[in-house]
Amino acid sequence: MLPQPLLRGKRGLSPFIVVTKRLYGTNLVDILGPRRALVHKNTGEPRTVLYGASNTQQVHLRPGEVAIKFLLSPINPANLNTVEGTYPSKPILVPGFDEKNGDVFIGGNEGVAEVVKVAPNEQTDTAMLKEGDWVVMRKAQSGTWTNWRVMNASEVLRVPRKPVGSKVTEVFAATMMVNGLTALGLVSGIEPGSHLLQNGANSGVGQAVIQVAKNLNVKTINFVRDREDFSDVEKHLKELGATHIFPYSKLLDRAFKKEFAALRKGSPTKHAFNGIGGATATAMGALLDQDGHLFSYGGMSKEPLKIPVGLQIFRGLTCHGYWHSRVWSSLSQDTQAEWVNRLTSWKENGEFQDPKHEIITLKGDDSAVGDQMREVLDRLQKGMVGSKLLLKWE
Ligand SMILES: NC(=O)c1ccc[n+]([C@@H]2O[C@H](COP(=O)([O-])OP(=O)(O)OC[C@H]3O[C@@H](n4cnc5c(N)ncnc54)[C@H](OP(=O)(O)O)[C@@H]3O)[C@@H](O)[C@H]2O)c1
């Protein structure tokens, strides 16, 4: 015999009414096939802990939920830090997803998905969503390295796209919430006509910074690692709207100061963005005007930031950290929508290009998908991949 409160349901309804109110439509597995994902049970070295898993259990929507099918999900550096357990925001456990191992974390933080089914609920945002819409994740650590999943309608944001002939691509939408919006947050507010400096200019964030800056009439002086294919990288970044591009060896050469003074032509240069750390960040700080601002948002070289005291005492350099997750969660839902609209309208108008990218199509059973991911991780470990890698389920 069930206890009385369970028999009655929350509002004193009969069990039959409780069940019909909670479940909506057919079993989604019948329409979409088993749920599949790249998961990890424990945190640790991604190559060791990540594996492919499937789930065949029935899934029904509840009012206010949406079923979404992922189109593309990027592999961002922070996703791997999350798997390692070194990233400040923690992944969300998915109870019982792995039919053999039980509760697991699904990798990935952002991605673009298509709405497949909506279970209407007047109290939530389901009215805003319809089948066929593209959505991105409003919530951090959503677990996006999966073929499909159910989410609360309030956890996703509709991608504004023209109904016909939209220029908003899957790659753009899949990468805008992290790289695109980080760039918008960094560059917004910089005086038009001035110059900004950045290292890691060929990264996802770097390419977005160049394009946001161009759209806001801010010029960019960009630095990338020395490499054999420098001229290809230079050509690509110029096509995005970069003003100047140099290898780090040039930035670290003391003689560069003179050349730099000539190319900025006296315009204000008060902001530098550091996604790499180490000597190149110090060198950018030293090039800034009096009372400049060095914003660190990443540390890909794993080298610490070293700032000579003279730069702070005599040149008034201020060092800041920028974490998009914190900025984003401080914004109202209306402002979040405004930021997304701003980026997507540039894209619709042909004023924003996709980042350099490569799509990895995940094929075969769970074991094959795990092997594919390990190959991808080996490439990323070697470095100089030159493209944002995005996952797509076959
Ligand atoms: N704070 C925030 O809110 C925020 C938001 C987004 C991203 N991030 C951080 O920003 C950084 C870049 O992210 P992303 O998504 O743009 O990355 P990405 O597209 O994967 O690009 C990685 C960049 O790092 C460079 N790199 C890799 N290993 C390096 C090394 N050992 N030394 C020097 N450079 C190295 C790469 O240059 P090569 O081509 O020369 O390898 C490339 O420019 C990451 O640290 C990420 O966590 C922070």
Ligand 1 proximity of 180 Cβ (cutoff 6 Å): no
Active site residue 87: yes
* Average pLDDT taken over every residue of the chain: 93
Specify the fold of 175-327.
Rossmann fold (3.40.50)
Share of residues in the chain with pLDDT > 90 (%): 90
CATH code for residues 26-169+357-393: 3.90.180.10
Ligand 1 proximity of 323 Cβ (cutoff 6 Å): yes
pLDDT of residue 9: 34
The alpha carbon of 79 and the centre of ligand 1 are apart by a number of angstroms equal to 12
The alpha carbon of 54 and the centre of ligand 1 are apart by a number of angstroms equal to 31
The alpha carbon of 223 and the centre of ligand 1 are apart by a number of angstroms equal to 13
pLDDT of residue 107: 98
- Bridge partner residues of 35 (DSSP): 55
Ligand 1 atom at minimal distance to the Cα of residue 77: 47
C-alpha 340/C-alpha 227 separation (Å) is: 34
Lowest mean pLDDT segment, chosen from 138-142, 174-178, 357-361:
138-142
Please write the tens of the pLDDT for every residue from 52-100.
999 999 999 999 999 999 999 999 999 999 999 999 999 999 999 999 9
C-alpha 151/C-alpha 143 separation (Å) is: 11
Share of residues in the chain with pLDDT > 70 (%): 93
Ligand 1 proximity of 178 Cβ (cutoff 6 Å): yes
Is residue 8 pLDDT above 60, yes or no?
Answer: no
For residue 380, give the nearest of 47, 56, 24, 21 by alpha carbon: 47
Is residue 7 pLDDT above 50, yes or no?
Answer: no
From 199, 205, 246, the mutation candidate for ligand 1 (largest count of ligand atoms within 8 A of CB) is: 205
Ligand 1 atom at minimal distance to the Cα of residue 201: 43
Half-sphere exposure of 139 (CA within 13 A, CB side): 13
Band of pLDDT at residue 19, cut at 50, 70 and 90: very low
Please write the tens of the pLDDT for every residue from 254-310.
999 999 999 988 899 999 999 999 999 999 999 999 999 999 999 999 999 999 999
Is residue 204 pLDDT above 50, yes or no?
Answer: yes
With beta carbons less than 8 A apart as the criterion, state whether 349 and 341 touch.
no
- Whose CA is closest to atom 8 on ligand 1? 298
How far are the Cα atoms of 30, 105, 236 from residue 142, in angstroms, in the given order? 24, 10, 32
Please write the tens of the pLDDT for every residue from 316-358.
999 999 999 999 999 998 999 999 999 999 999 999 999 999 9
The alpha carbon of 323 and the centre of ligand 1 are apart by a number of angstroms equal to 14
Please write the tens of the pLDDT for every residue from 225-247.
999 999 999 999 999 999 999 99
Q: What are phi and psi of 41, to 5 degrees?
A: -90, -40
Catalytic residue among 24, 51, 87, 248: 87
The alpha carbon of 77 and the centre of ligand 1 are apart by a number of angstroms equal to 7
pLDDT of residue 199: 98
Ligand 1 proximity of 384 Cβ (cutoff 6 Å): yes
The alpha carbon of 120 and the centre of ligand 1 are apart by a number of angstroms equal to 40
> What are the structural domain ranges in the chain?
26-169+357-393, 175-327
pLDDT of residue 125: 64
Ligand 1 atom at minimal distance to the Cα of residue 324: 3
How far are the Cα atoms of 16, 23, 51, 61, 224 from residue 7, in angstroms, in the given order? 9, 17, 40, 22, 64
The alpha carbon of 185 and the centre of ligand 1 are apart by a number of angstroms equal to 17
pLDDT of residue 3: 34
Average pLDDT over residues 9-19: 38
Q: Hey, what are 344's tokens?
A: 């997507």
From 203, 223, 320, the mutation candidate for ligand 1 (largest count of ligand atoms within 8 A of CB) is: 203
Band of pLDDT at residue 23, cut at 50, 70 and 90: low
Band of pLDDT at residue 4, cut at 50, 70 and 90: very low
Ligand 1 atom at minimal distance to the Cα of residue 327: 3
With beta carbons less than 8 A apart as the criterion, state whether 380 and 204 touch.
no
Place of tokens 């830090």: 81
Ligand 1 atom at minimal distance to the Cα of residue 298: 45
pLDDT of residue 124: 64
Ligand 1 proximity of 246 Cβ (cutoff 6 Å): no
CB atoms within 10 A of CB 254: 8
Q: Hey, what are 182's tokens?
A: 């980080």
Average pLDDT over residues 108-128: 87
Ligand 1 proximity of 300 Cβ (cutoff 6 Å): yes
Band of pLDDT at residue 128, cut at 50, 70 and 90: confident
With beta carbons less than 8 A apart as the criterion, state whether 119 and 8 touch.
no
Average pLDDT over residues 98-111: 97
